Structure 1
Amino acid sequence: MIRLIAIDMDGTILSPDHSISTKNKQAILAAQSNGIEVVIATGRSFSEAFGPVSDEGLNLSYICLNGAEVRDEFGELLAATHIAKNDINEITSILDAHTIDYQLFIDTLIYTKSIKDQIDTFIQLAEAANQIPPVDKIRQEVMERVEKGFIVQLDSFDKLINQRGNEIYKVFGTSYNRQQLDNARNALQLLPGLAISSSGAGNLEITNHNAQKGIAVEQYANSKGIAMENVMVIGDSYNDLSMMVRAGHAVAMGNAPAAIKAACTEITTTNEYDGVGLAIEAILQQQV
């Protein structure tokens, strides 16, 4: 009996144009009306995640930044797990040595040295799913976040790290050079206390070892008195793997890599064709 559903965003609940389809929305509302709790589990910051969900009038809780932050449906912070300040300089030194561009996530803000990198990040996510990225819409979304102050461009991160190094949730590295990414990943994995994942072939997501989607989903379920065997998760990438191996029912999107599909109990259609909605409808049919 499924009592909690955790859903990834990019490549999963979001269509290629970064919207939530009517079918996906209706399925979530149907799940909620049948007493099933639904939570977003994303690598995005809260400010990036809240917009597309609230635009559809959905009231959901949020596991953000791969589990580094948990917020309720009102946006109130429930839990926070930061990277140890001592690790930040080592992380950035490794990324700099391998010419990896990166962004720092603090609270609801994203700090970047290039707005273009932010735009390229979402383009890469779409390309990794073998889809045509809606470049104009992505650019518009990013620039709106810049105007609202959620994305801050800095020439250097030195002062920020010195002043707020103990508040960093996630370091997000991007590169089109796969060899450089692999070399950086190998070096980062030698640092204890970190979780190294990715949401696409062109990025690295670095968080505290305790900040992983699977850990956060399990803690959230426990807080609601729900056993993991009664949890369903839906995702498409490697940063979803930690929750897929813990949940009683794991669903891979049709656009997920083969390794992610192999880790799941079910495969649905792609995010272009309402994969989330269909997976939820199938569960509701069984239970209702």
Structure 2
Amino acid sequence: MIRLIAIDMDGTILSPDHTISTKNKQAILAAQSNGIEVVIATGRGFSEAYGPISDSGLDLSYICLNGAEIRDSFGDLLSATHIDENNISQITSILDAHTIDYQLFIDTLIYINSIEDQIDTFIQLAEAANQIPAVDKIRQEVMNRVERGYIRQVDSYNELINQRGSEIYKVFGTSFNRVNLDKARKALQLLPGLAISSSGAGNLEITDINAQKGIAVEKYAKSKDISMANVMVIGDSYNDLSMMERAGRSVAMGNAPAEIKAACTEITTTNEHDGVGLAIRAILQLQV
């Protein structure tokens, strides 16, 4: 009996134009009306996650930054896990040495060196899902966040790290050079206390070892007195693996890599074809 559904965003509940389809929304509402808890589990920060969910009219809780944050449907912080400040300089040194661009996630804000790099990040996510990115839509979305102050461009991270190094939730690295990216990943994996994942072939997601989607979903389920055997998760990428391995039912999107599909108990259609909605409807038919 599924009592909790955790859903990834990019490549999963979001269509290529970064919106939530009517069929996906209706399926989530049907699950909620049948007493099933639904939570978003994303690599995005809260400010990036809240917009598309709120715009769709859904009222959901959030696991953000790969599990570094858990927030309720009002956006209030329930749990926070930061990277050990002693690791930050080593992380940035490794990324700099391999010419990997990166962003810092602090509180609800993203600090970047280049707005274009942020736009490229979302283009890469779409391409990783084997889809044609809606470039104009992505650019507009990013620029709206810049105007609202959710994304802040800085010339150098040094002062920010000196002042707020203990508050960093996630470091997100991107590169089109896969060789350098792999070298950086291997070097980062040697550092203790870190989780190294990715949401696409061209990026690295660096968090504390305890900030993983699987750990956060389990923590959230426990707060609701729900066993992981009664949890279903839906995702499409490597940063979803930790929750797929823990959940009683795991669903891979049709656009997921073969390794992700192999790790799941079932496969649905792509995010272009309402894969989330179809997976939820299948559960409801079994349970209702």
Do the structures match in fold with TM over 0.5? yes
- 2:171 equivalent in structure 1: 171
- Does residue 180 of structure 1 match 2:199? no
- 2:46 equivalent in structure 1: 46
CA distance in 2, matches of 1:184, 1:123: 21
CA distance in 2, matches of 1:250, 1:261: 9
- 2:132 equivalent in structure 1: 132
Q: Tell me which amino acid in the other structure corresponds to 1:71.
A: R
- Pairs within 5 Å for 1:140-155: 140-155=140-155
- 2:89 equivalent in structure 1: 89
- 1:12 equivalent in structure 2: 12
- 1:225 to partner: Cα distance: 0.3
Secondary structure class of the residue paired with 1:221: helix
- 1:4 to partner: Cα distance: 0.1
Secondary structure class of the residue paired with 2:127: helix
Secondary structure class of the residue paired with 2:132: coil
Q: Tell me which amino acid in the other structure corresponds to 2:13.
A: I
- 1:76 to partner: Cα distance: 0.3
- Pairs within 5 Å for 1:97-246: 97-246=97-246
CA distance in 2, matches of 1:101, 1:56: 32
- 2:21 equivalent in structure 1: 21
CA distance in 1, matches of 2:126, 2:74: 29
Summarize deviations over 1:97-119 as a string: whole Å, max 9, x none.
Answer: 00000000000000000000100
- 1:31 equivalent in structure 2: 31
CA distance in 1, matches of 2:195, 2:182: 15
Summarize deviations over 1:140-196 as a string: whole Å, max 9, x none.
Answer: 000000000000000000000000000000000000000000000000000010000
Please, what TM-score do these two structures have when normalized by structure 1? 1.00
- Pairs within 5 Å for 1:272-283: 272-283=272-283
Q: Tell me which amino acid in the other structure corresponds to 2:228.
A: M
- 1:64 equivalent in structure 2: 64
Secondary structure class of the residue paired with 1:176: coil
Q: Tell me which amino acid in the other structure corresponds to 1:5.
A: I
Runs of 5+ unmatched residues, structure 1:
none
Q: Tell me which amino acid in the other structure corresponds to 1:85.
A: E
CA distance in 2, matches of 1:124, 1:74: 30
CA distance in 1, matches of 2:230, 2:22: 26
Q: Tell me which amino acid in the other structure corresponds to 1:166.
A: S
CA distance in 1, matches of 2:148, 2:178: 33
CA distance in 2, matches of 1:152, 1:74: 23
Summarize deviations over 1:18-75 as a string: whole Å, max 9, x none.
Answer: 0000000000000000000000000000000000000111000000000000000000
Runs of 5+ unmatched residues, structure 2:
none
Paired-residue identity, %: 84
Summarize deviations over 1:186-228 as a string: whole Å, max 9, x none.
Answer: 0000001000000000000000000000000000000100000
- 1:259 equivalent in structure 2: 259
Please, what TM-score do these two structures have when normalized by structure 2? 1.00
